[in-house]
Amino acid sequence: MSSPDRLAVPALGYGAANVGNLFRALSDDEAWAVLDAAWETGIRYYDTAPHYGLGLSERRLGAFLQTKPRDEYVLSTKAGRLLRPNPAFAGGLDTANAFHVPDDLQRVWDFSAEGTRASLDESRERLGIERIDLLYLHDPERHDLDLALAEGFPALEQLRADGEVTAIGIGSMVSDALAAAVRSADLDLIMVAGRYTLLEQPAAVDVLPACVETGTGIVAASVFNSGLLATNEPRRDGRYEYGELPDELWEKLVRIAAICADHGVPLPAAAVQFPLQASGVRSVVVGGSRPEQLRQNAEYAALPIPEELWENLAADGLIPA
């Protein structure tokens, strides 16, 4: 059974993929301004990963957090992709992975015990911060979930036992992998990406019950569903993960937006606060590449929302009762 007392995670966090030049390039000054806005709005949980910008996110976030008192924030990063020199580098960019950074490094999957420990050490070096509060295995199902279950998660448990990290977990957008990890390992927190949102809740079927059984906390990420929930008036041509938005989801989105409008609640505010209605969800992590987005998300997180909104959405079968 996991201990809920190992690590307290603030209810709102910043996911630092954007400062790793996700979707568009930011200068160092622009990235700093984004992080500064996050801090000024009161955000004290920061999540990153080697994957984000081939280490750029960790370096930028670490440089920023080194200017802050270490006991005033929670920091998480991830393991599973080691960064190694790219022998085929020819001056290109990592845009195949949506990051606008030189692809002079390549990601090497490694969920072995040795690889997991090496990833933590290398993240510490890039961040320039010794104490990592929370270490997730990142997308193990994309490479070798069996190896992660056999070696990666036991390695995380040992790192926690040795005091190298305070808490451990998994970050994934695949419900089956999340549930398998929760039932197989003694995890503290899991990051559920896009699988428990105002628009879609597949994690409610198996992941949330597994977390209730084991006492595992949940961090909800990608709560805007690729941006579909980020504005009051969704667009039919909006991006949905890696393809077009299915008709049935569009129809559901229109109904959700209409009920939010009836209650005078901005759709993005409902999207940010919805996951926290579930008892096991401890935090919602949002991204952002502009300071004003960070300030707006903080306002959405603090906006009073009437209980009747959730009751109406549940009564219409749009969210779990």
Tens digits of residue pLDDT in 104-129:
999 999 999 999 999 999 999 999 99
Distance CA 116, CA 110 (A): 7
Catalytically active residues, by annotation: 52
* Residue 76, both tokens: 């998480």
Residue 3, pLDDT > 60, answer no
Residue-level pLDDT at 236: 83
pLDDT of residue 235: 86
Which residues does 188 contact at the CB level (< 8 Å), separation at least 6?
A: 2, 3, 4, 6, 7, 134, 160, 167, 168, 169, 216, 217
To the nearest 10°, report the CA torsion of 239, 193, 146, 205: -100
Give me the half-sphere count of Cα atoms (radius 13 Å) on the Cβ side of residue 215.
8
Please tell me the predicted confidence (pLDDT) of residue 35.
98
Percentage of the residues of the chain whose pLDDT score is greater than 90: 92
**Six-digit token string for 189:** 């927190």
By CB atoms closer than 10 A (0-12, 13-18, 19+), residue 51 is: buried
pLDDT tens figures, 242-301: 577 888 999 999 999 999 999 999 999 999 999 999 989 999 999 999 999 999 999 999
pLDDT at 33 over 90: yes
How far is the first Cα of the chain from the last one, in angstroms, to the nearest whole number? 27
pLDDT at 321 over 90: no
How many other C-beta atoms lie within 10 A of the C-beta of residue 76? 30
Look over the chain and give the mean of its residue pLDDT values, rounded to a whole number.
95
Q: What is the pLDDT of residues 143-188, one digit of tens each?
A: 999 999 999 999 999 999 999 999 999 999 999 999 999 999 999 9
- In this structure, the chain runs to a length of 321
- pLDDT, residue 242, reads 59
Q: What is the pLDDT of residues 42-75, one digit of tens each?
A: 999 999 999 999 999 999 999 999 999 999 999 9
pLDDT at 238 over 90: no
Those residues whose C-beta lies under 8 Å from the C-beta of residue 97, and which sit 6 or more positions away, are: 51, 107
- The 3-class secondary structure across the chain, one letter per residue, is CCCCCCCCCCCEEEECCHHHCECCCCCHHHHHHHHHHHHHCCCCEEECCCCCCCCHHHHHHHHHHCCCCHHHCEEEEEECEEEEECCCCCCCECHHHCECCECCEEEEECCCHHHHHHHHHHHHHHHCCCCEEEEEEECHHHCCHHHHHHHHHHHHHHHHHCCCEEEEEEEECCHHHHHHHHHHCCCCEEEEECCCCCCCCCHHHHHHHHHHHHCCEEEEECCCCCCCCCCCCCCCCCCECCECCCHHHHHHHHHHHHHHHHCCCCHHHHHHHCHHHCCCEEEEEECCCCHHHHHHHHHHHHCCCCHHHHHHHHHCCCCCC
Which of these, 304, 227, 300, 207, lies nearest to 12 by C-alpha position?
A: 300
Q: How confident is the model at residue 1 (pLDDT cuts 50, 70, 90)?
A: very low
Q: What percent of the chain has pLDDT over 70?
A: 98
Q: Is the pLDDT of residue 2 over 80?
A: no
The pLDDT tens digits of the residues spanning 185-220 come to: 999 999 999 999 999 999 999 999 999 999 999 999
Domains annotated for the chain, with CATH where assigned, are: 12-315 (3.20.20.100)
Residues forming a β-bridge with 85: 105
pLDDT higher than threshold 70 for residue 241 = no
More confident site: 247 or 101: 101
pLDDT tens for 130-143 read: 999 999 999 999 99
Is residue 302 scored above 80 in pLDDT? yes
Q: For residue 274, what are the contacts with CB-CB under 8 A and spacing of at least 6?
A: 197, 198, 223, 310, 319
Amino acid symbol at 204: A
